[in-house]
């Protein structure tokens, strides 16, 4: 069986959990998750030359791997895609709902 499309992104998120950049094909939602040359490399599907070049680029450039790993850390562990940021958004939404409910309740007093 030959897989040529992506239907889920769990493999990428698993790699990102270990702060590991990925090489992903330009199919499905993968380019929405992997930022080309920041958190990984996007290549065209079925392009063996691009795949080879992407591997060689990462293999021959440890600094690039380090920079990509740091970009993953900033985005997913410290930034807007972190659990902390998600939690803050959730608590802000709850606070906003509570404030609106308090205003509505006080208008009936």
Residue spans of the domains in the chain: they are 1-78, 80-109
Under CATH, which architecture does the 1-78 domain have? 3-Layer(aba) Sandwich (3.40)
Burial class (CB in 10 A: 0-12, 13-18, 19+), 77: middle
In the DSSP assignment, the letter for residue 35 is P
Torsion, Cα 58 62 65 67, to 10 degrees, reads -140
Pair type for strands 40-43 and 22-25: parallel
Whole-structure pTM value: 0.76
Average the pLDDT over 65-74 and give the result.
98
Quickly state the pLDDT bin for 7 (edges 50, 70, 90). low
pLDDT of residue 106: 62
Give residue for tokens 């069986």.
1
pLDDT of residue 1: 45
Q: Please give the backbone phi and psi of residue 43, each rounded to the nearest 5 degrees, phi first.
A: -125, 160
Average the pLDDT over 41-49 and give the result.
97
Residue 105 has pLDDT above 70, yes or no: no
């Amino acid at each position: 069986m030959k897989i040529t499309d992506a239907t889920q992104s769990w493999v990428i998120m698993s790699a990102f959990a270990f702060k590991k950049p990925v090489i992903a094909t330009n199919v499905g939602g993968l380019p929405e998750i992997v930022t080309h040359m920041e958190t990984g490399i996007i290549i065209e599907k079925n392009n063996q030359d691009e795949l080879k070049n992407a591997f060689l680029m990462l293999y021959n450039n440890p600094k690039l791997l380090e920079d990509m790993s740091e970009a993953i850390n900033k985005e997913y562990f410290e930034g807007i895609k972190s659990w902390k940021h998600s939690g803050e958004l959730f608590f802000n939404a709850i606070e906003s709902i509570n404030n609106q409910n308090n205003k509505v309740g006080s208008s009936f007093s």
